Structure 1
Amino acid sequence: MQKRVYILAIFLFASLSGFSQYNVDYGFSLGVANYLGDIGGGIETAKSGPSDMKLDHTRFAIGGFYRTRFSQKFAFKGSLNYIRLSGDDSNTANPARRSRNLNFRNDMYELEGHLELYLFRVNDVGRTGRYSTDFNLYLFGGVGAFYSNPKGQNANGDWVELQPLQTEGVSYSKINFSIPAGLGFYYTIDRKYRLGLEMGWRTTFTDYIDDVSNTYANDYDGISNKTTQALLDKVNAENDVNNLLTNFDAGSRRGNPDDNDSYLTATVNFSWAIRGRSNFYKSKHNWVLGKNKRKRRKSRAKF
């Protein structure tokens, strides 16, 4: 009985040692981001899905991450990202939003952590027998926090911070929270480099990523309210309807408070896998590390 327990313990230790060699990686990501909110969008009224996004307002997302895989099925990943979102009513075909004539730009800093659930894995891509390239597909979900500072463009083309202006008479926080979720995959190449793709959706708890949510607090000021009668007349004439739109003055509808803002990222990820330092593993599994040469023992002739 003791012998069986001893053999089982050795087997488990060897398995864990082998798994632990490449369970940590760190790297960087580079990709694109877009947002779903009140500004811009398609020709119809605002929707709560990606179909209302404007692809021409896709901006960038860059970041760094650290991942540790603590079992065959699960890993934890933490990342710090710099994300730019933007929108502009002048680029939508929706008459009401075009005449509202708002725009925004938001450079956000995001800190997020999530769990990865691995759905599919190929240990030896190409069946080379060397196990130097593998493939992993995963779902992820977690929590995040981000710093948000929306800016609007004035008549001179300068970008002005909107949160201090309280454009809707509301003082909202620049720090907000999100729930990231999505799908990703990566290849491990030569046992130590990882190249992957990840698509994530952030559900947030704020409607002020674009500084637009409810009603106007001010009449025309050139920043939070840019609507002019000339623009209204132009939009009405283009739609061949009289009195379709009127001035957006203080107290009138400015956005849709029923849905919070959200955003999407799609990034290419590159990372380095960290090899462990288990002497037991190295002595028993050198073939995994690509060290197949046996050391020759030197001996001196005896006379």
Structure 2
Amino acid sequence: MRRKCYTKYAAAQAFFLILTWIGALQVSAQNKSGRYVNPFGVMSVTAGVGVAYYMGDLTDGVNMKHLGLGPSISLGGLYRLTERVSARGELRFYKVSADQKYSKNAQNNLSFKTFNPDINLGIQADLFSFNSQPRINPYLFGGIGFTLLSPKAKIDGEWHSLAPLRTEGIKYKRLPLVFTAGIGVSIKTTERLSLGLELCNNFLNSDYLDDVSTVYPNPDQLPSDLARRLSDRSPEIGLEPRQPGWNRGSAKSKDSYLFFQVRGTYLIGNRQQAIERRKTRCPKF
């Protein structure tokens, strides 16, 4: 037991020493530069492109052949508050899809696709300080925002918006909250430009990203024949219609979507830096 405790203590101590050594290198880089910049108010613009992955009622695990991946794009900015902490805001667009014929619930025969915008505000915390000028800087971030739900399904060769059809007999909110959390790493390529990778999970305060959540409704309560057909698609594959009250989805867990992006960050600077740059410009003759 003592040997195990000593091994854990030694490993923790070694990890702490490695972090201390890395931090010392960063401080050394700062000292060599010979100048300190007040981090507050330093601004950067950000952009990202990658893939989006859906997790919800129409999937029951990761199917490597049918991931339903779609594109994700983000545009935003960072406003530095301290040496390690920045406010962060982004406008993002993502596309995801799923089809139950590739899942264990193929008998329900439900499917969807969606292309949505979302907006997110939050905080990013860097491992290394701004003035240490690290070349590689891992970070964590979290935030809150909104997304617009616009699920669609295809029938008879045409795509139809599902939310107005109320396929489960209820009207759900189409602008739910989104809670975001993720990790990333930024690699400085020039004095102003950094490139990196980021993994971000987005947790919806809704179970209707895919238009599926609870049980099959009474068909007589649905507004149209199209709504009834898109609510229960089992007859399309030769099965009996689902009975009202049978599980159509599961409201126990809400939907989410994942981003994996390649990102660029361009440092604009702040007012103080702009004044310093003007002072160093060559006079015009």
TM-score, structure 2 length as denominator?
0.75
For 1:266, give the aligned amino acid.
Answer: F
Instruction: Summarize the Cα distance change of 1:217–1:261 in structure 2 as closer, same or farther, 3 Å threshold.
Output: same
Task: Report what 1:217 is aligned to.
Answer: 217
Task: Render the CA deviation track for 1:163-187: whole Å, top value 9, x for unaligned.
Answer: 1111111110110101100101112
Task: Give 1:267's match in structure 2, choosing from 253, 256, 261.
Answer: 261
Task: Give 1:108's match in structure 2, choosing from 104, 116, 126.
Answer: 116
RMSD across aligned positions (CA): 3.0
Q: Percent identical across equivalent pairs?
A: 28
Instruction: Summarize the Cα distance change of 1:177–1:53 in structure 2 as closer, same or farther, 3 Å threshold.
Output: farther
Task: Report what 1:33 is aligned to.
Answer: 52
Instruction: Summarize the Cα distance change of 1:55–1:181 in structure 2 as closer, same or farther, 3 Å threshold.
Output: farther
Instruction: Summarize the Cα distance change of 1:280–1:170 in structure 2 as closer, same or farther, 3 Å threshold.
Output: closer
Q: Is the contact made by 1:40 and 1:54 (CA closer than 8 Å) also made in structure 2?
A: no
Q: Is the contact made by 2:176 and 2:205 (CA closer than 8 Å) also made in structure 1?
A: yes
Instruction: Summarize the Cα distance change of 1:260–1:52 in structure 2 as closer, same or farther, 3 Å threshold.
Output: farther
Task: Render the CA deviation track for 1:115-166: whole Å, top value 9, x for unaligned.
Answer: 1111246988xxxxxx6x7221111111111111111111x22111111111
TM-score, structure 1 length as denominator?
0.71
The secondary structure found in structure 2 opposite 1:39 is: coil
Instruction: Summarize the Cα distance change of 1:33–1:229 in structure 2 as closer, same or farther, 3 Å threshold.
Output: closer
The secondary structure found in structure 1 opposite 2:230 is: coil
Task: Render the CA deviation track for 1:232-261: whole Å, top value 9, x for unaligned.
Answer: 4xxxxxxxxxxxxx6413332211111111
The secondary structure found in structure 2 opposite 1:228 is: helix
Task: Tell me whether 54-63 or 158-167 shows the greater mean CA deviation.
Answer: 54-63
CA distance in 1: counterparts of 2:274 and 2:91, whole angstroms: 35
Structure 1 alignment gaps of length 5 or more: 1-13, 43-50, 125-130, 233-245, 296-303
1:66 equivalent to 2:77? Answer yes
Higher helix proportion: 2
How many aligned positions are there? 241
Task: Report what 1:236 is aligned to.
Answer: none
CA distance in 2: counterparts of 1:280 and 1:88, whole angstroms: 53
For 1:188, give the aligned amino acid.
Answer: K
CA distance in 1: counterparts of 2:106 and 2:249, whole angstroms: 13
Task: Render the CA deviation track for 1:181-218: whole Å, top value 9, x for unaligned.
Answer: 01011122221112111111111110111111111125
CA distance in 1: counterparts of 2:275 and 2:169, whole angstroms: 64
Instruction: Summarize the Cα distance change of 1:153–1:281 in structure 2 as closer, same or farther, 3 Å threshold.
Output: same
Instruction: Summarize the Cα distance change of 1:76–1:230 in structure 2 as closer, same or farther, 3 Å threshold.
Output: closer
CA distance in 2: counterparts of 1:120 and 1:80, whole angstroms: 26
1:76 equivalent to 2:87? Answer yes
Q: Per-residue deviation at 1:61? A: 0.6
Instruction: Summarize the Cα distance change of 1:222–1:53 in structure 2 as closer, same or farther, 3 Å threshold.
Output: farther
For 1:267, give the aligned amino acid.
Answer: Q
CA distance in 2: counterparts of 1:57 and 1:69, whole angstroms: 36
For 1:101, give the aligned amino acid.
Answer: N
Task: Report what 2:96 is aligned to.
Answer: 85
CA distance in 1: counterparts of 2:266 and 2:151, whole angstroms: 35
Q: Is the contact made by 2:91 and 2:118 (CA closer than 8 Å) also made in structure 1?
A: yes
Instruction: Summarize the Cα distance change of 1:264–1:276 in structure 2 as closer, same or farther, 3 Å threshold.
Output: same
Task: Report what 2:189 is aligned to.
Answer: 189
Task: Report what 2:145 is aligned to.
Answer: 144
